[in-house]
């Protein structure tokens, strides 16, 4: 009888050890069943927030320590996109935005997604203008997933690059970028170029003046500019850093006309 009891106890201990190992592995790597469950909860959560819209999973983040993050995207609105987190299979929310906001409040209602998308559209338009009007300069692609030669931040201020709330009303969800917005919303253009030799501050000033002249003439009234020129002859990345010439963030009004 004692031997039988010991065997049962040993079996229970073995099962508990296996369960503990499975839970530990799940905590580190996650599992496909929990991931699918979290995705379905995220979609249901988003569709409750935005009735009448259909959401799909755009991408999946995390999955460790029983926490699954799911990015959801509306099929009806390209700017209605945010992340939802499910913890311990039952607790689903989109908390964690800046200043105590939820993620949908920050990304959708305060127009972070809209501002970013419009910035991408503006950057594509600016690239075409510069290729046509300033072909003598080699602007290199380094910004964003599209590796654009420039980056445009709508709602930029010298104190912060975070878009102030008061501009959200000027950015309708899903509306295309309109360059007239630049007259209402302070916006920064950041751009990088390759110089044939070691660039100087005088070179930076010349390029800045040309940028402002061409872009203002095309109706792109940026409030701020930031230019970086790199040396095409630098033999290594490290030495190239030493040969950079940068403008820093400068107000457009402080750039003299050519």
Whether residue 70 contacts residue 39, with contact meaning beta carbons closer than 8 Å, is answered with: yes
CA distance 148 to 154: 16
Q: In Å, what is the CA distance from 142 to each residue of 45, 150, 194, 249?
A: 36, 8, 12, 18
The pLDDT score that the predictor gives to residue 166 is 78
The string of pLDDT tens digits covering residues 204-254 is 999 999 999 999 999 999 999 999 999 999 888 888 888 899 999 999 999
Examine the pLDDT at 50 and tell me if it is beyond 90: yes
Q: Count the neighbouring beta carbons within 10 Å of the beta carbon of residue 111.
A: 24
Examine the pLDDT at 18 and tell me if it is beyond 50: no
Average pLDDT rounded to a whole number, residues 62-74: 88
Count of residues making up the chain: 258
Average pLDDT in the chain? 87
The pLDDT score that the predictor gives to residue 114 is 94
Q: Which contacts qualify for 51-57: CB closer than 8 Å, 24 or more apart?
A: 52/76, 53/77, 53/80
Examine the pLDDT at 22 and tell me if it is beyond 50: no
pLDDT class for 72, splitting at 50, 70, 90? very high
Q: What does pTM read for this prediction?
A: 0.84
Examine the pLDDT at 188 and tell me if it is beyond 70: yes
Examine the pLDDT at 134 and tell me if it is beyond 90: yes
Tell me the percentage of the chain whose pLDDT exceeds 90: 68
More confident of the two residues 126 and 11: 126
């Amino acid at each position: 009888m004692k031997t039988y009891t010991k065997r049962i106890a040993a079996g229970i201990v073995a099962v508990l050890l296996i369960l503990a190992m499975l839970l530990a592995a799940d905590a580190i790597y996650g599992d496909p069943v929990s991931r699918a469950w979290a995705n379905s909860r995220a979609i249901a959560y988003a569709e409750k927030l935005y009735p009448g819209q259909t959401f799909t999973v755009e991408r999946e983040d995390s999955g460790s320590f029983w926490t699954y993050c799911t990015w959801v995207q509306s099929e009806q609105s390209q700017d209605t996109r945010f992340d939802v987190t499910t913890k311990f299979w039952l607790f689903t929310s989109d908390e964690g935005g800046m200043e105590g906001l939820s993620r949908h409040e920050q990304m959708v209602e305060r127009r972070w997604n809209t501002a970013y998308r419009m910035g991408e559209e503006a950057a594509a338009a600016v690239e075409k203008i510069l290729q046509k009007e300033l072909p003598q300069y080699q602007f290199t692609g380094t910004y964003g997933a599209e590796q654009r030669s420039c980056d445009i931040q709508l709602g930029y201020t010298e104190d912060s690059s975070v878009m102030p709330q008061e501009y959200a009303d000027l950015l309708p969800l899903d509306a295309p970028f309109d360059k007239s917005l630049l007259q209402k919303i302070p916006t920064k253009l950041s751009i990088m170029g390759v110089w044939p030799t070691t660039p100087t501050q005088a070179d930076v000033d010349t390029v800045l003046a040309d940028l402002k002249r061409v872009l203002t003439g095309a109706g792109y009234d940026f409030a701020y500019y930031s230019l970086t020129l790199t040396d095409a002859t630098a033999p290594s990345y490290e030495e190239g850093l030493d040969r950079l010439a940068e403008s820093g963030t400068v107000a457009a009004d402080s750039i003299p006309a050519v």
